[in-house]
Amino acid sequence: MTIRLLHVDDDPDIRAIVGMALARDPLLEPVATGSGTEALSLVADGLCPDAALLDATLPDMDGTTLRVRLHAVMPPDRLPVIYMTARARPHELAALRAPGVLGAIVKPFDPLRLPLDIHALLDQRILTR
């Protein structure tokens, strides 16, 4: 089963690196966008992602606001969220915890490990259901 992954990051270089890293995994189908507003528009237009990979700090809205707005349309049990963040202090990571949030991938990240890290977080969700 292919996992359609909504990837939201305002940095085009990060989007490109993530896109190349995930393209190596036939089970992941990334759909990338550069802003929270664009992500919400895609979902409003009918995109039904299986999971979301959200930058925690976007220029138009923070990742938490985007997650809340996405979960208003798709409940947390239908749209698990993984954050990407450069802010990795314990209190910063703790602030990202919420229903439907599987965890965070810290920037800088290893592109070769990224698909494995995403699968590990998604598998954890399946095991804890």
Q: How much is the pLDDT for 129?
A: 46
Length of the chain: 129
Give the pTM: 0.94
Q: What domain range includes position 113?
A: 3-127
| 57 backbone dihedrals φ, ψ, rounded to 5° | -130, 105
Quick one: pLDDT at residue 103? Answer: 95
Dihedral over Cα of 5, 61, 47, 50: its sign: positive
- Number of separate domains in the chain: 1
pLDDT at 124: 80
**Pairing assessment for the beta strands 81-85 and 28-33 based on DSSP bridges:** unpaired
Phi, psi of 38 (to 5 degrees): -65, -40
How much is the pLDDT for 127? 46
In this predicted structure, what is the pLDDT of residue 2? Answer: 94
> Nearest-CA neighbor of 7 among 105, 90, 93?
105
Q: What angle do CA 36, 13, 89 make, to 5 degrees?
A: 70
pLDDT of residue 41: 98
CATH value at residue 17 = 3.40.50.2300
Q: Each residue's pLDDT tens digit in the chain (129 positions)?
A: 899 999 999 999 999 999 999 999 999 999 999 999 999 999 999 999 999 999 999 999 999 999 999 999 999 999 999 999 998 888 899 889 999 999 999 999 999 999 999 999 999 865 444
Residue 125: its pLDDT value, please?
Answer: 66
pLDDT at 88: 86
